[in-house]
Amino acid sequence: MRIAVTGTTGQLVRSLLAADAASVEVVAIGRPELDLAQPTDIRATLARAGADCIVNAAAYTAVDKAESEPGLAMAVNGTGAGAIAAAAAALGLPLIQISTDYVFDGALPRPWREDDGTGPLGAYGRSKLAGEQAVAAAGDNHAILRTAWVYSPFGANFVKTMLRLAESRDELGVVADQVGSPTYAPDLADAVIAVAKALVTNPKDASLRGIFHAAGSGETSWAGLAEAVFAASAQLSGPTARVKPITTTQYPTPARRPANSRLDCSRLAARYGLRLPPWQDSVRACVAELLARPER
């Protein structure tokens, strides 16, 4: 089976390319061949990939910058996602759309379910929700995977930032009043591949289509995640720092973050038999890989 994934540099894309999946080939398509900000000839581009399934992982992900570039965020995450979905539908291919916890306002006291009402707090969340809606409007042959707090050995992310800052600082203030489900991109990549296989193998199974939550098992705060990073690093003689819990108001950002980003992933488990590993285990694996590299 061949999977075509949009984008070439993102954490999920790089994790998909690195995944060790039997009988699965992953090909990445990015700029300039495919630019979601200027979606032209998308159908022809995807057709040339010769894929059995499309994964739309390309996105505008600069959450804070989106507040000053809402049009560009919407063009890529909303209109661009719709163009990918329309092309996939025209080619008769299933589509996996990667979405986010930012479609929610974070106000619920429990983990979010797929059928909970959305209410994004900022431009990034609104653009990703528009992408979900555009994908749904293009046809039924899709699975929208909402994820949260993604980190990996690739690119820029919270885990890498904590290790880098700990090399020069003894104490770090980290937000403790936002909670979520940290998600290791290689774990998410494995889930995406499993979903793709199921969609291709079962083209008429409606229970495999729709919206699903796919995030690491368990929950923590950003401060709790930082503490886990430093505990794992300490065991491997890596950099560590003391974590000083702070509030969201003590760390203002242009974009508001959901206070509760926990995702209920039971539907993914029920329909696909998939449950991502506990976030603590994956954090240890990520830190070990990062510390094994000569440059981080």
Active-site residue, from 60, 102, 124, 151: 124
| Least reliable range by pLDDT among 5-9, 19-23, 245-249 | 19-23
Q: What is the pTM of this model?
A: 0.95
- List, in order, residues 6 or more apart from 69 with CB less than 8 Å away: 60, 62, 123
Radius of gyration of the chain (CA): 19
Task: Transcribe 176-225 into DSSP letters.
Answer: -S-EE--EEHHHHHHHHHHHHHHHHH-TT-GGGSEEEE---BS-EEHHHH
Task: Summarize pLDDT for 128-174 with one digit per residue, the tens.
Answer: 999 999 999 999 999 999 999 999 999 899 999 999 999 999 999 99
Q: What is the CATH T-level fold of the domain 2-156+183-217+262-277, as seen in this structure?
A: Rossmann fold (3.40.50)
Other CB atoms within a 10 A radius of the CB of residue 200 amount to: 16
Q: How far apart, in whole angstroms, are the C-alpha atoms of residue 116 and residue 83?
A: 26
In the numeric block, which tokens belong to residue 224? 């709790």
Task: Summarize pLDDT for 209-241 with one digit per residue, the tens.
Answer: 999 999 999 999 999 999 999 999 999 999 999
- HEC-encoded secondary structure of 65-76: HHHCCHHHHHHH
In the numeric block, which tokens belong to residue 74? 């919407």
Q: Which SS3 state, helix, strand or coil, does residue 138 take?
A: helix
Whose CA is closest to 83, among 115, 126, 53, 39?
39
Q: How far apart, in whole angstroms, are the C-alpha atoms of residue 163 and residue 230?
A: 8
Q: How confident is the model at residue 200 (pLDDT cuts 50, 70, 90)?
A: very high
Q: How far apart, in whole angstroms, are the C-alpha atoms of residue 65 and residue 140?
A: 32
Q: How far apart, in whole angstroms, are the C-alpha atoms of residue 130 and residue 93?
A: 21
pLDDT at 197: 97
Torsion, CA 143, CA 197, CA 41, CA 16, rounded to 10: 90
Q: How far apart, in whole angstroms, are the C-alpha atoms of residue 235 and residue 148?
A: 27
184 is catalytic: no
Domain ranges of the chain: 2-156+183-217+262-277
pLDDT at 64: 96
Looking at every residue in the chain, the average pLDDT score rounds to 95
Task: Summarize pLDDT for 21-78 with one digit per residue, the tens.
Answer: 778 999 999 887 777 877 778 888 999 989 999 999 999 999 999 999 999 999 999 9
Whose CA is closest to 111, among 265, 285, 291?
265
Share of the chain above pLDDT 70, in %: 99
Whose CA is closest to 173, among 253, 106, 125, 243?
243
- Tell me which H or E stretch contains 233: helix 222-235
pLDDT at 294: 60
Q: How far apart, in whole angstroms, are the C-alpha atoms of residue 145 and residue 167?
A: 35
